[in-house]
Chains A and B, each alone.
Chain A
Amino acid sequence: MTELLKQLSALDGVSGYEAEVRDAIRKQIAPHCDALRTDPVGNLIAFKKGAQRRKKPLVVCSHMDEAGFLVKSVTADGLIKMAPVGKIEPQVIVGRQMRVGPKKLPGVISLKAIHLTKPEERKEPPALTGLYVDIGSTSKAQTEALTGVGDPIAFGSGCAELGEGHLKGKALNGRAGCAVMVKMLAQPHPFDTWYVFSAGREIANGVKAAISSIAPGTCLLLDGVHAADLPGVPEEGRASRLGHGPAVVMVDGALTCAAALRQAVTAAADKAGIPWQLCGCEEPASDAGIIRGAGSGVEVFRLGCPTRYIRTAASVINLADLAALYELSMLFCREVNYEN
């Protein structure tokens, strides 16, 4: 699963441009699915037949896409101005290597040298409008021969193990769940289960179509949970902590997790000896609220790897948490027969 996640993280899949990730996942899961399709939005939907049917379908979902940018325009000097896709804070792209367009042109984002700044310029984070990707071109014509408006721009970072039992890479918040789901699909299932590898999560538009087409009763949503277990952050502000098991999200934007479902899952986890933790802070809205509102009543259970530095070039997760996320998700599919 670690090797698969390394491979998936290194692929580029800015929202709306998920094909590379989708193709890689499709190749992995095709031998293990009973039905497989890509919907018009770009969601990859797989059906796994189990020994029994449920009254209402269960969906396991994680997103393939990542936040990034699009080529917005090219300056006379051949520099690329960016339109945002999702919510990457401009200060984390300064000094980064990027990949531009289908040719994956290497480029960099930076600022004028510090020697040329006034003190006040060194305090404020830059605005995206002032930033650009430099691919080494010196003219508009040179750049436009290689890329054009609408080409996606992703972080150019790779995925690798960090320290002991950790992984760093871009797009881990969604791809970790995707890797877990790929592994799950290869296992026998006691109940029919749907798997949705969703598109457009970072722009909050995509998963709804897939959920509507399946009309599930319950959705297990795997999405990275913010971790802020960092020096100087008080206990109550840490949200979740790496190495303490997958995080159960209680409050996610407008959505709250049903207490009965949470109790059923966590009791089963305790019985099976699988570690878990509660996310101690409110998570910003994810696909959970969209899924909740997609059908005529879908109960959503959001679970995820505690993830540091989401939407930067290098997020960090703990591999034991990833393994436990897989175990707990399998347990969910096997034993949690929650009827709403």
Chain B
Amino acid sequence: MNFTEQVIHLTNMHGISGDEYAVSEAARALLAPFVDSAEVDPFGNVIGRKSCGGPGAPTLLLDAHLDQVGFMVSGVTDEGFVRFVAISVDPRMLPGSELLVKTKNHGVLPGVVATLPPHLRPAGKKAADSYYDVAAMALDMGLPAEKAKQMIAPGDPVIFAGDTQRLQGDALCGRAMDDRACFACLLQVLELLDGRELGVDLIVLGSTREEVGLQGARDVANRENPDYAIALDVTHGKTPDSGEQVANEVAKGPVIAIGANSNPALANRVAEIARAKQIPYQLAAVGGSSGTNAWAMQTSGLGICTLVLSLPLKYMHSPVELIHTGDAENLARLVAEFIANFEGGAQS
């Protein structure tokens, strides 16, 4: 599988926060050929180890999270419609959307989020009042009530329907690009480092439950206490409606975050390498939390020097997250060169 095929393979799988196990197993299988050992911990975190063989070498953890935003079934109505709760999803994506319910014993079932036509909406009730209230939404399964109740249970994971599509040029679009595209980047990094002499031991982490509080990466960072950690995650790419808040763009190269949560000395070192290797890049000033696993990892263990490197992405937490694979390939090259030329010593 090449990078694009890996992204499609991983993003088409079900794995909302807390239900990543199938994705974890797929990620472990992809990771295993590149590392000395690859295992899945009880929380679904995938942990690969690659030793450089040098005594006393520092340890660098590379993280990308495997979970995706989605929903959980909260109940089945007496008419057989499914009620659900959202987990970090943008509710504006829901009216008229199609979802997939992963049941325990009856496979994956499709459903349609119910909407009312304008002429039948209660008088005086504007679209927004009824349309964006997730608690009031109902998923139409096309099933008789008794069947729906028998097949579907509260807690069943739900994701958006719609597989990943190739768009024009190198654009890829689908759910769960955040952050499985970055896990595929990590695989690329390892492929690029294959056979090269390194001065750092690597821990490659596919972490779980990021979208519900950076949980998996925190656990593993506490356990492993690496010297350094890099969070590879997506960041907002500019769109016509994003205004001044977003400075980075898709198709313009990976983003190097710089600030308290993304060590400035390391960030500058990465930028220097990018210039030396002629890899396009963008900088992002991050004053406080980067919103990535780096935030939790920084103060895990005995304190970890963290760096955030990002893949620009449009429409985050929607069913149509859009990336350009050129950015991902350049991100992988950048991380690989950074590791191959690792100097450490960021805590001056």
Contacts and interface: CB of A to CB of B under 8 A. Distances in A.
Given A113-B90, A135-B168, A108 B115 contact: no
A160 B167 contact: no
Contact of A125 (B127, B141, B171): B127
B92 interface: yes
B75 to A, nearest CB: 11
Interface string A264-292: 00000000000000000110100000000
A174 to B, nearest CB: 15
Q: Is the interface of A mostly helix, strand, loop or mixed?
A: loop
B318 A110 contact: yes
Contacts of B140: 162, 230, 308-309, 316
A135 B167 contact: yes
A90 to B, nearest CB: 9
B240 A308 contact: no
Interface residues of A, number: 68
A123 B239 contact: no
A113 B167 contact: no
Given A137-B169, A309-B96, A309-B112, A232 B136 contact: yes
Nearest to B323: A136
A208 to B, nearest CB: 23
B142 interface: yes
B143 interface: yes
Interface in B169-224: 169-173
Interface stretch (A164-172, A191-199, A296-304): A164-172
A239 B120 contact: yes
Interface stretch (A18-26, A92-100, A254-262): A92-100
Contact of B236 (A95, A113, A239): A113
Contacts of B170: 136
Given A95-B97, A231-B79, A316-B112, A162 B141 contact: yes
B344 interface: no
Given A94-B92, A168-B98, A138 B169 contact: yes
B164 to A, nearest CB: 11
Contacts of A13: none
A160 B110 CA distance: 10
A185 interface: no
Given A105-B168, A113-B317, A313-B98, A230 B144 contact: no
Given A110-B315, A110-B320, A233-B120, A138 B250 contact: yes
Contacts of A136: 167-173, 322, 324
A314 B98 CA distance: 7
B270 interface: no
Q: Is the interface of B mostly helix, strand, loop or mixed?
A: loop
B333 interface: no
Most-contacted residue by chain B among A79, A125, A143, A281 (CB, 10 A): A125
A206 to B, nearest CB: 22
A314 B112 contact: yes
A188 B162 CA distance: 42
Contacts of B250: 138
A112 interface: yes
A132 interface: yes
B315 A237 contact: no
Interface residues of B, number: 68
B142 A162 contact: yes
Given A97-B320, A231-B138, A312 B110 contact: no
Contacts of A95: 90, 92-94, 97, 160, 318-320
Interface stretch (A4-12, A114-122, A215-223): A114-122
Most-contacted residue by chain B among A157, A163, A309 (CB, 10 A): A163
B242 interface: yes
B115 A112 contact: no
Nearest to B144: A164
Given A113-B90, A135-B168, A91 B142 contact: no
A231 B98 CA distance: 18
Contacts of A92: 95-96, 115
B77 interface: yes
A313 B99 CA distance: 12
A232 B137 CA distance: 10
Nearest to B110: A162
Given A168-B142, A226-B119, A110 B93 contact: yes
B242 A112 contact: yes
Contact of B114 (A77, A166, A309): A309
A310 interface: yes
Nearest to B116: A228
A239 to B, nearest CB: 6
Interface of B: 77, 79, 81, 90-98, 109-112, 114-120, 122, 127-128, 131-132, 136, 138, 140-144, 147-148, 160, 162, 165-173, 236, 239-243, 245-246, 250-251, 291, 314-320, 322, 324
Interface of A: 75, 77, 79, 89, 91-97, 105-116, 122-126, 130, 132, 134-138, 142-143, 146, 157, 160-166, 168, 226, 228-233, 237-239, 281-282, 284, 308-314, 316
30 contacts: A91-B131, A97-B320, A106-B166, A108-B320, A110-B315, A112-B246, A114-B91, A116-B246, A122-B91, A122-B132, A125-B127, A130-B240, A134-B322, A135-B168, A157-B98, A160-B110, A161-B142, A162-B112, A163-B147, A164-B147, A168-B98, A168-B110, A168-B112, A229-B79, A231-B77, A233-B120, A237-B120, A282-B119, A308-B114, A311-B117
